[in-house]
Every structure is written in structure tokens, then in C-alpha cells.
Amino acid sequence: ELGASPSCVKDGIPAEDFNGGHPDPNLTYADELVKIMWADEAPAFGAASDGDGDRNMILGHKFFVNPSDSVAIIAANAQECIPYFKGGLKIQWWGRGEVKVTIVTRQQGNKDV
């Protein structure tokens, strides 16, 4: 749904054991992705998720987005960048915590969330 080639995905098949990895994508446990994104010839965008999307990590070339801000970035860019959301946001709740909801609300401004 992002329009990327399937070859861009690693461990994209859901598994109860997280394909042998750790379920929390962060700089420590997703070190393979971090090394790719910090390389001189890194792609422009990298992301990791625990599978159901309540824990994720966004990276750019040699930068990292704090997990508490990543859901706000996804919400702010969803309609413009993610084909699934082109017709509008199809969700009623972003995140489970009050802090995330506050961040998303501020980020969205007058958008219909």
C-alpha cells in the first residue's frame, strides 16, 4: 500500500516469535535497520513495526524519529503519502495514550481526524 517494491521489506510475514527478533523496534533491537539507514548510500526512508502497529520506528538517512512522535508524523502525512488513506483517514483513534492523542491533535490542526 505504500507503493514500494516488495524487495524493500524484511521480515514482512507476521510470526508469533517476531521472526526471531525483538517485538520492540528501537535503536537497540532494530540495529540491522539502523546500520542500513546510517550508511552513506542509505535509502531516504526506513521504518520498523511490531506487526500490529502500536510500536513503530521511523528513520531517515542518518536520523531517527522518537517513537512518541512517529504516530503524529504518520497521521500528518497519511492522506498525502499513503494510498490507503487518499480518500480520508479511516481511523478513529491514534495511539493508546493521552500524550500521543495530544500530539496528534496538535499536529493535525484543522484536518479531519
pLDDT for res 91: 57
Please identify which residue in the block is written with the cell numbers 542509505.
42
Decide if 25 contacts 48 (C-beta within 8 A): yes
- Full-prediction pTM beyond 0.75? no
Strand pairing class (63-65; 56-60): antiparallel
Instruction: Give the helix, strand, coil percentages of the chain, each rounded to 5.
Output: 40, 10, 50
Ordered by start, the domain boundaries in the chain are 6-65
Cα gap 109→106, rounded to integer Å: 6
Extract the C-alpha cell encoding 56.
Answer: 513503530
Please identify which residue in the block is written with the cell numbers 531516504.
44
Give per-residue pLDDT as tens, 60-107.
Answer: 999 998 877 877 777 778 778 877 777 776 655 555 444 444 445 454
pLDDT for res 90: 60
- What is the phi/psi pair of residue 63, to 5°? -145, 160
pLDDT for res 99: 46
Q: Could you name the CATH architecture of 6-65?
A: 3-Layer(aba) Sandwich (3.40)
Decide if 55 contacts 25 (C-beta within 8 A): yes
Statement: residue 52 has pLDDT above 90:
no
Statement: residue 6 has pLDDT above 70:
yes
